[in-house]
Amino acid sequence: MRARQPDDRGTVVREGVAIAYEVFGDAPRTILLMPTWSIIPSLTWKALVPSLARHFRVVTFDGRGSGGSDRPVGSAAYDDEEYVADARAVLARVRRGREPDPVLVVGLSCGVAWSLALALEAPEEVAGVVAISPALGLVPGIAARERHAFLDEPTDAVEEPTGWRTFNRHHWLHGDYDAFLRFFFAQMVSEPHSTKQIEDCVAWGHEIGPERLVDTELARTVCRSPGFARRVVQTDVPVLVIHGDDDRVRPYAEGVALAEATGGSLLTIAGGGHAPHAREPVVVGRAIREFAGRLWPETAERRTWTRGRRRPRRALYLTSPIGLGHVRRDLAIADALRKHHPDLQIDWLTQEPATAVLARAGEHVHPASAFLASECAHVEDEAAEHDLHAFQAIRRMDEILVANFGVFDDLVREEPYDLVIGDEAWDVDHYLHENPELKRFAFAWLTDFVGWIPMADGGPEEAALTADYNAEMLEQRARFGRVRDRSVFVGNPADVVDEPFGPGLPRIREWTEENFAFSGYVTGFDPLGEADRVAVRRSLGLGPDDLLCVVTVGGSGVGEALLHRLLDAVPLIRRAEPRMTFLVVTGPRIDPRTLPRRRGVRLRGFVPDLHRTLGAADVALVQGGLTTCMELTAQRVPFVYVPLRHHFEQNVHVPHRLAQYGAGHRLTYEEARDPDALASALLAVTGRTPDTRPVETDGADRAAALLADLL
């Protein structure tokens, strides 16, 4: 799912070729993100668009041959002049009804040439140019690449071409095109742990196909007019060059030469490759905004600085919206933290449905929360029938994570905080480690699991990906331990799985014990006493002999399939046990009216203080989310849990923890699809008080004590 949808989109047709464009935001000043080589579409800018669009009007368009634009045949259709003319046509279209103010043009690789040509041809339309990893031919190319010509005829060699030998039109058309894409994009995004960026680019490369890609390269290799590069650098607009000094597609010297030729500024990305906009979006996005502030002083930041001793004690609490249990435990920790510091002001940065819970609790949800891209909507978009590949869903949430970090970064630049508490705030933790200079506050990280775990049917590829993600985290922590002032595991050492992070990597439990403090589990409530249990049951109209089954599937819409399976089994259960009634809690994102009605079943979208209702149940049916399972464990209510398929946390981490307490009966979704099996599982545990280990009740106080000295 995209982090931000366009506010306007359309096509402009020029000489029979339709060019697809999108517009984000409606600020007075405009940034045009130019297309690059048509091997990738304008989605290559996805990590920059949301943050830039909060401050500027951002226009993107798919270069001819890519994305939603037409794919004309023949190299002449991909001449440099065509891309420049397309840009002018798009600008003319999106300017309708607006003052024709000049725009800031941002180009990548060969798109830099078109950006400079646009500025030279129409200087009144361009306020400045940001040139990222320019590919102009100002200096000799990469030696390994230059040894192999694009037009070379294949030899009689038997072996398949490798490396830069695959950058050849005959290989694209008649050889292993996918092998070329994988090689080329590994060179383009050469930084370690760039599997997602490479994966995106390979998929985009298949969209254009080899025939049209040959046309685009012929236009640059054969048809480009002599002296083109020397001509376009004569532009007289301000230029910012951004170039990585480990660029393996075009040499870093090219960026240096362009800055010298134009009198422009140069931002060197030390250790960076050819795609810093994708691999280092925070640095590149901030550089573009700062450059825009110099071009348009009215867009520059305006801030108030308050003397330190006049500042109130403030904390910013980031709570995960995926699973409402995070909110309850975080509220409990916040309340306990206020006992240490009664003057503490806590702001919350989060999303629906967590914001609604916090508002009901009287907490202050920061207005910047409205700018966050929805993680819950993304999760629902990723889900199938009781199936959520959690690891891949997080990987594919990269666009959302960097967008939300941008919201956070803007907020903490504008307002001073003494402490930031991130409860599984993956975006903030990751990008602070990638950009440690941005940390200007104490930072505490809370989590209830450690380590990405591959699913068995993912095979070696998934095992390699999870190991790579784990290795990146281990390297971040080893190099920048100072980023987290406190790492708190919400649980005990034995609750951590004793599995390796991956081949050649430490074991998860051993590493966690060395790098985390342990708070014990945090439920956020005291278990119901008998009097309260009777009162809750009475409020539900239940007598002493009635049986209550509570069914809940969390705060997202992923659990709807399980609700249908339960409703299919209700008649069987009630025939075997007529005293059984059901309270089915659909949560905030599933409309109870969309579910079928069954005798003996009450459907509710929202139940205040759901933990109290769970504590009054005789049995429960839930997904495999940790929070709800532990709430039932703490109140010694028997329950059946059905983990989401391919959800590594619910299938590995949660069962391991529940085993420590001796709680819960696990049922696979395949088993739960059989009404008889689901009915039998629920009836087998109904009314049986589990012999579970007590869940600690002081977890919130222990967690708060670990945080208090950071304020």
Each domain of the chain, given as residue ranges in start order, spans 8-141+225-299, 308-523+701-708, 530-685
What does the pLDDT average to over 253-277?
A: 97
Q: Strand pairing partners for 704?
A: none
Share of the chain above pLDDT 90, in %: 84
pLDDT of residue 223: 60
Residue 230 binned pLDDT confidence (cut-offs 50, 70, 90): confident
Cα torsion through 340, 343, 347, 353, rounded to 10: 60
What does the pLDDT average to over 547-575?
A: 91
pLDDT of residue 222: 66
SS3 per-residue string spanning 118-179: HHHHCHHHEEEEEEECCCCCCCCCCHHHHCCCCCCCCCCCCCCCCHHHHCCHHHHHHCCHHH
What does the pLDDT average to over 66-87?
A: 96
**Is 99 a residue whose pLDDT tops 80?**
no
Give burial (CB, 10 Å; 0-12/13-18/19+) of 378.
buried
Domain 8-141+225-299 falls in which CATH fold? Rossmann fold (3.40.50)
**Is 539 a residue whose pLDDT tops 60?**
yes
CA distances from 459 to 384, 455, 505 (A): 20, 8, 19
Backbone phi, psi, residue 443, to 5°: -130, 125
Residue 609 binned pLDDT confidence (cut-offs 50, 70, 90): confident
pTM confidence score: 0.94
Strands 639-642 and 619-623: parallel
Query: Which pair of tokens denotes residue 337?
Result: 């933290």
**Is 149 a residue whose pLDDT tops 90?**
no
CA 528 to chain centre: 38
CA distances from 691 to 224, 383, 637 (A): 78, 35, 10
CATH of domain 308-523+701-708: 3.40.50.2000
Residue 301, Cβ neighbours under 10 Å: how many? 11
C-beta separation of 106 from 33 below 8 A: yes
pLDDT of residue 154: 75
Lowest average pLDDT, out of 142-146, 450-454, 568-572, 690-694, goes to: 142-146
Give burial (CB, 10 Å; 0-12/13-18/19+) of 176.
middle
**Is 310 a residue whose pLDDT tops 70?**
yes
Give one DSSP letter per residue of 28-45, joined into a string. SSEEEE---STTS-GGGG
Residues 352-411: tens digit of each pLDDT = 889 998 999 999 999 999 999 999 889 889 989 999 999 999 999 999 999 999 999 999
Strands 517-518 and 103-108: unpaired
Which stretches within 1-74 are classed as H helix?
Answer: 49-53
C-beta separation of 77 from 215 below 8 A: yes
Residue 156 binned pLDDT confidence (cut-offs 50, 70, 90): low
CA distances from 69 to 13, 95, 241, 493 (A): 10, 20, 28, 54
In CATH, which superfamily holds the domain spanning 530-685? Glycogen Phosphorylase B; (3.40.50.2000)
Q: Return mean pLDDT, the chain.
A: 94
pLDDT of residue 229: 79
pLDDT of residue 158: 57
Residue from 4, 103, 112 nearest 56 by CA? 103
CA distance 452 to 393: 12
Tell me the CA end-to-end span of the chain in Å, nearest whole number. 37
C-beta separation of 61 from 19 below 8 A: yes
What does the pLDDT average to over 437-446?
A: 97
Say whether 308-523+701-708 and 8-141+225-299 share the same fold: yes
